[in-house]
A and B are shown apart, each in its own frame.
Chain A
Amino acid sequence: MSTNTVLYSVAIILVIAGVTVFTRFAPFAIFGGQKRVPASIIYLGAAMPAAVIAMLIVYCLRGTAFSAWPFGIPEAVACVATALIHWFGKNTLISIAGGTVLYMVLVQAVFI
Chain B
Amino acid sequence: MNSENSTPALVRRALTVTIPVMCGYLFMGIAFGLLLQDAGYSFIWALFMSVVIYAGTMQYMAIPFLVAQADLLTVAITTLLVHFRHFVYGLSFIQRFKPMGKRKYYMMFGMTDETYALLCAEKAPSRESEEKFFFLVALFDHLYWIIGCTAGALAGQFLTINTKGIDFAMTALFIVICVDQWRAAKSKLPTVIGACAAVISLAGSKLLGIDNMLIPAIVMIIVCFFALRSKLEPLLLEGQAEGAEG
Chain A contact residues, CB within 8 Å of chain B: 1, 5, 8-9, 11-17, 19-28, 31-32, 37, 39, 41-62, 74-75, 78-79, 82-83, 86-87, 92-93, 95-97, 99-100, 103-104, 106-108
Contacts and interface: CB of A to CB of B under 8 A. Distances in A.
20 contacts: A9-B66, A13-B62, A14-B52, A20-B79, A23-B86, A28-B108, A42-B88, A43-B232, A48-B84, A51-B193, A52-B81, A54-B190, A59-B198, A60-B64, A74-B165, A87-B179, A92-B176, A95-B175, A103-B172, A104-B166
A48 B165 contact: no
B23 interface: yes
Contact of B61 (A9, A11, A56): A56
B175 A24 contact: no
A8 B69 contact: yes
Contacts of A24: 83, 86, 90, 108-109, 111
B103 interface: no
A48 to B, nearest CB: 5
Contact of A86 (B57, B175, B214, B217): B175
A96 B90 contact: no
B53 A17 contact: yes
Contact of A50 (B64, B176, B181, B240): B181
A60 B41 CA distance: 19
A108 B188 CA distance: 35
B84 A43 contact: no
Given A16-B62, A43-B233, A59-B214, A95 B172 contact: yes
| Prevailing SS type, chain A contact patch | helix
A40 to B, nearest CB: 8
A47 B187 CA distance: 9
Interface residues of B, number: 93
Contacts of B165: 74, 100, 103-104, 106-108
B11 interface: no
Given A48-B85, A51-B193, A56 B174 contact: yes
B121 interface: no
B195 interface: yes
Contact of A19 (B76, B90, B181, B214): B76
A52 B194 contact: yes
Contacts of A50: 178, 181-182, 185, 190-191, 194
A24 B41 CA distance: 27
Contacts of A17: 52-53
Nearest to A42: B244
B88 A15 contact: no
Interface string B64-88: 1110011010011001111111111
